[in-house]
Amino acid sequence: MPLLLDRHRPAGGTPELRARLGWFVGAVTIAFLVLVGRLWQLQVIRGDRYFQASTDNFVKERFLSPVRGRILDRNGVVLVDNRPAFNVYVTPRYYSRSAHERLARILGLSPQDAESLWSSIEARRGAERYRAMLVREDVDRDRLALIEQLRSELPGVDVEDVPHRYYPHGTLAAHVLGYMNQITEAELARWKGEGYEPGDSVGRYGVEKQWEHYLRGKKGSERYVVDAKGQRKGEREAEALIAGPRWVPPVPGHNVVLTLDAELQRIAERALRHHPSGGVAVVEVSTGKIRALVSKPAFDPNAMTSGISRVELTQMEADPKKPFLDKTLRQHYYPGSTYKFVTLLAAIEDGLVTPEERVFCRGWHELGGRKFRCTKAHGSVSYYEAMAQSCNVYFWQLAERVGMDRISRVARDFGFGAPTGIGLNGDVAGRVPWKAWYERTGGFRIGYTLNTAIGQGDTEVTVLQLALAYAALANGGRLWVPQLVERVETASGKVVAEYPPTLRRRVQVSSRALAMVQRGLWGAVNDPNGTAFKARVDGLEVAGKTGTAQVRKLQKFEDGGDWNPHRDHAWFAGYAPAHAPEIAVVVLVEHGGHGGRVAAPVAMEIFEGWRNLVHGGVARAAKEGEGTGTEPGAEMGTEASAASRNESASPEGVPESGEDILFEVREDGEVVPANVAPPAEAR
Amino acid sequence: MNGWALWRKFRTHFDWMLFATVVAIAAIGLLNLYSATRHGPQRDLFGQQIGWMVLGFFVFFATAILDYRVLTRLAWGLLVVGFVAIVVTHFFGIAAKGSRRWIGLGFVRVQPSELIKVAVILALARFVQDRESQELGWDAIALRVGALGAAIVLIAWQPDLGTASLNALICVSVAFFTMKRLWPLLWGFFGLAAAAPLLWMYALHDYQKKRVLTFLDPTSDPSGAGWHSRQSIFAVGSGRWDGKGYMHGTQNQLNFLPEQWTDFPFSVWAEEWGFVGSIVLLGLYFFLVLWCLNVASQARDRFGATIAVGVAALIFWHVVVNIGMVTGLAPVVGVTLPLVSYGGSSVLTMFLGLGLVASVSMRRYAR
């Protein structure tokens, strides 16, 4: 049985073995056919798929982060910027336990943090193991140098320089600007297809969050070749192996220009310096543009963005003063006497009171055998004295005539009880009660009307709502939608969108009624008997209303002493100049006590600061010559010096902590207190 | 006889077909090795391999000219020498990757467990010859089977499971070819199957178990041993019909293939030359195995026939296990691809074996 063609005849041989050889040949043939079949399967049937798999092996795509848009104030002052920073990334596939221990030591991670980081790195599976994970943002130079030095002992560790969000003015307008941090799994899932990836930072609060899609820009990408160890190969390989474009440049985000005035914001924040907790809203009367919006205490956006430690975060979250709460629009408060204009307008409009009518205040009002106490016995008061001196009895008597629902109607007309429409930080509606509401919730009593008439009971408003209502009082009845963003520009300054002021509605009150209210508000500040008379500013006529809102009934706390969570809220709401109003200011000092004594001075300081800023060119020039360097107000810059000069004469003139001291970064990267070189020509 | 007459005799009797096939495979091997090693730190392996090839062909011719029948006497002795070499290697050898397999001989390193395959084949041939020429008692058979078994166990203990299994496969193949009744082989197979759990628990090293487990479930270790297997499949598959072109295999050039010059040269070849190239190489091996069996069928005696069958089995199993391994049909074990893998011992072993086949082939004619 010759197996193959054989020219020679074999001699001798082993014929009895040949039978088995046939089997053997069969087995070999089958085995080789199996291999051929397998090769056919791999190379021909699944060839394209494996070709793709082998391409995926060496083509790595990397997103190129765009530079995030900046946030500017109305004058172009940069409120939020980007600075170069170094982030540390780890690629699990090339990482090791020993590298992790080294890296944890360099980064100064606690054993728990290091351990949880390790388990999250280890949790990566499959292709995810080839993707770099962000481990630490914004590593300082010393650590960076250590990492560079130990490069060879830190496989899988990469350092990349990325723009890092930077808030040059520290806590200034923190609640408006917001902060950023790493995207969560849930957000990644929700925003699938929008180009987000793990490790990205997203806006978390304020404008950073609300305008995220304008600010973030568009990612670019880069495709390059890596070998099996993840080492990047040169351009020559990339050119030869990658089809199509290898580099798509990122598009920088848009700049957002706010209506905010950084200098006025600074003045407003400074005006609150003696008070640990509160809110301020400054609104332009003729447009509804927000010029300053303060919520205190504030968080530090730089710390929040660079990764705050869990301990600090827990501490801040447990703080009863709630630094993360935006007190200008996320929280509502009893407006107290600042709300009295609503009651007055309701009565005038329905013809239930005349300017001449007088009411006698004995110090209390009696209703159904119960005595409602006034602040003192005001004697005979007309609407003017009642507003100026904040007589409760007058308004209680009006309330009995007007009734609950008329007060509610006017309140709603002025925007209370509904969100302002700013859309920022979860703007709340507050509450305007009406009769039916009480009947639904357990029965209406006339006493509720009395409480409502003086801004107590179940009436709650936000600082911003009140500011817009006072702006409407000042401008003849136009209620604005608050405006925070002036326009959006491209990085090169081309205007993308410009936002005109938006009128929400014209308030349904006669100009006669408005004039009466305005006169009352003028009296509260400028009448010697007015509740805010002592706080008035020389040379600027302010109109406004103080408020002292009871937080707890039947409890009276003395002024002074530490921050007391049971003490009354102090309010001042007003506008200036009284006869040609330009801005409306509302100040809330949480648990501050008496409105006239506590909130009014704060508001007046803001009014004065605003006056100097906008109209005080001459006064400012005069003050500059005196040299303000040693005074606590000096770090505010020259614009604020007039205001600070005024207040530093008061016994409480020293800032209680260093939080108002601002820092700036010099060109050489050093951080220095901003008062080293006052920005004389800042604007 | 003068030189001219000797040459003419050689020319007419020499197995040129065998020689041509060997040259073709070796040429492909060198070509492929150059592509597999030209990048990175293994660049000098190519030059070394050429040296081994030259030595290999010298050995091939020397063995071919030598009358294989003189080895009848030496067969068991060579096996004993192999024993000693392995034991010496175990204690004094050069350690690499968890086992001592190499022994330094001056400037070269030799792997006795590779070379012992030839000794095993010779011993098998002698065993077959003995059974034909004399009546062997049970004790004599047991002694011989025991000696062969000991060689296999010794290699496994080294540890070099791949080589041990290969020797076992050669023995079984030869036994299948030569035994008068096959049922003892069947019993042996059943016995082995019964003992498998015990072997698994006590005889296998952890890394060996892991390889087997990974083969059975590649997803269990996607970045470790399973990764090698996957990357190899990617390489083979991505060659598609006609390959990515010589020296343009990305899996190879960018080092996604582990040890592409020893264990995975076929992946390199398949990636760069595609299905067409793979079939050419596979065809050459197929032809080589069949040719060796052809020589066996025409051998003048049982000793020669068994040698040829043994070498055919040697090449066959190496090819099937290696290609099975790189295509994901077999677990990743260190079995080389004959004449294509880098490695002096492997090359010498193959040339020795093929030289023996050439010697058998030359002497099939009655003089």
Q: What ipTM was estimated for this complex?
A: 0.91
For chains A and B, CB pairs below 8 A equal: 166
What pTM value is reported for the model? 0.66
Rounded to an integer, the average pLDDT of B179-206 is 74
User: For B308, phi and psi rounded to 5 degrees?
Assistant: -65, -40
A661-665, B9-13, B223-227: which has the highest mean pLDDT?
B9-13
Q: Which residues contact B51 (CB under 8 A, 6 or more apart)?
A: none
- Residue A560 has what pLDDT? 44
Q: Cβ of A17 and B238 within 8 Å?
A: no
B203 vs A150, higher pLDDT: A150
Q: Cβ of A10 and B300 within 8 Å?
A: yes
- Residue B98 has what pLDDT? 57
pLDDT value at B25 more than 60: yes
Q: Which residues contact B366 (CB under 8 A, 6 or more apart)?
A: A11, A12, B300
Q: Is A12 part of the contact surface with chain B (CB cutoff 8 Å)?
A: yes
Tell me the shortest Cα–Cα distance from A301 to chain B, in angstroms: 41
Which residues of B are less than 8 Å from A21 in CB distance? Answer: 177, 293, 296-297, 309
Sign of the dihedral defined by the CA atoms of residues A334, A336, A340, A343, in that order:
positive
Q: What single letter denotes the amino acid at residue A169?
A: H
- Residue A333 pairs in a beta bridge with A461
User: For A586, phi and psi rounded to 5 degrees?
Assistant: -125, 130
CB A183 within 8 A of CB A196: yes
pLDDT value at B100 more than 80: no
Q: What are the DSSP E strand ranges found in A25-93?
A: 59-64, 71-72, 78-90
Quick: pLDDT tens for B142-161.
888 888 888 888 888 776 77
Q: Is A30 part of the contact surface with chain B (CB cutoff 8 Å)?
A: no
- Residue A666 has what pLDDT? 40
Q: Cβ of A129 and B275 within 8 Å?
A: no
Q: Which residues contact A69 (CB under 8 A, 6 or more apart)?
A: A214, A215, A216, A217, A252, A253, A254, A255, A256, A491
Tell me the shortest Cα–Cα distance from B362 to chain A, in angstroms: 11
pLDDT value at B211 more than 80: no
Tell me the shortest Cα–Cα distance from A53 to chain B, in angstroms: 6
Q: Cβ of A13 and B222 within 8 Å?
A: no
pLDDT value at B210 more than 80: no
- Residue A246 has what pLDDT? 79
Tell me the shortest Cα–Cα distance from B302 to chain A, in angstroms: 6
Rounded to an integer, the average pLDDT of B98-118 is 74
- Residue A552 has what pLDDT? 63
- Residue A76 has what pLDDT? 92
Cis peptide before A323 (omega within 30 of 0): no
Q: Cβ of A54 and B233 within 8 Å?
A: no
Q: Collect the ranges in chain A with pLDDT lower than 50.
A: 1-12, 553-560, 618-683
pLDDT value at B238 more than 60: yes
Q: Is A60 part of the contact surface with chain B (CB cutoff 8 Å)?
A: no
Q: Cβ of A11 and B366 within 8 Å?
A: yes
CA distances from A322 to A277, A299, A313, A429, A565 (A): 9, 10, 12, 20, 12
- Residue A657 has what pLDDT? 34
Complete DSSP assignment for B236-268: HHHTTTT-S-TT--HHHHTT-STTTTTT-HHHH
Complete DSSP assignment for B322-344: HHHHHTTSS-----PPTTTS--H
- Residue B275 has what pLDDT? 94
- Residue B217 has what pLDDT? 64
Cis peptide before B222 (omega within 30 of 0): no
B contact test, residue of A3, A54, A59 with most B CBs within 10 A: A54
